[in-house]
Amino acid sequence: MPVPRSVVRRLTAAALAAVVVSATGGCSLAPLRDALDRALDGGSEPSGEEFAPEGRESDEGNTDMDAIRLGDCLNDEEVSNDESVGEVASLDVVDCDEPHDSEVFGFPAYELSDYPSDDELYSIADEQCFDLFEPYVGADYDTSSLDFSYYTPTRASWKYGDRDAMCVLYDVDLGQLTGSARDSRL
């Protein structure tokens, strides 16, 4: 039986130079501590199409990756502790009014037909999530108290049409957040 699109995703730290991609499919997360060192080239403003449609509230609790939506708050401490946990198929969605580790702030699409190299996969997600950060939070990344990471498709999930990264933000000091970061100017 084929693995459904976005069923399993891979989670990796940005500091990893090489990533082992499993044949089972998935998406990965790469914390971007080095994003402050990136030279800003005045990238284009996001069109808004990179944000996932909202029309549904996530059920709280363990939620499949392809059911997670823009603005969902997650307890996925791997985001904020720079640990690689490999592939993930689901995450714990919680009410944003409760303490949580991260929040989903965008789903930029890969405009590629073939699965990219790991460097290209992460570079594209990094750039697109960076561009989505300020419009979602309402604060410039360089002055924000938040950082971001992303989940990306694996080679196997790509075969089933998975072409979106999932951008997540978290507290730069690795504490839990309470309330939504949308338009928070944090």
- Per residue, the 3-state secondary structure of 84-108, as one string, reads CCEEECEEEEECCCCCECEEEEECC
CA distance 112 to 99: 37
Is 79 inside any structural domain? yes
The answer as to whether 4 is a domain residue is no
Number of domains in the chain: 1
- Decide if 131 contacts 45 (C-beta within 8 A): yes
39 lies in a domain? Answer: no
142 domain-assigned: yes
Mean pLDDT of 165-184: 93
In a domain, 2, yes or no: no
This prediction has a pTM of 0.69
pLDDT digits (tens, 9 = 90+) for 40-86: 233 333 333 343 334 334 456 788 888 999 999 999 866 655 555 56
In the numeric block, the tokens 């995703």 are attached to 9
Q: How far apart are CA 83 and CA 168, in angstroms?
A: 15
Here the tokens at position 123 are 């570079």
In a domain, 52, yes or no: yes
Range of the domain at 64: 9-33+47-171
182 domain-assigned? no
Work out the number of other CB atoms within 10 angstroms of the CB of residue 36: 10
pLDDT at 59: 55
Q: What is the dihedral of CA 135, 137, 142, 147, to 10 degrees?
A: -120
Mean pLDDT, residues 105-115 taken together: 95
**pLDDT of the residue at 145:** 94
Range name among 17-21, 105-109, 130-134, 168-172 with the lowest pLDDT average: 17-21
What would the pLDDT profile of 2-48 be if each residue is shown by its tens digit?
A: 323 232 333 333 322 222 222 233 454 433 323 322 322 333 333 33
Contact 52, 132 (CB under 8 A): no
Mean pLDDT of the chain: 72
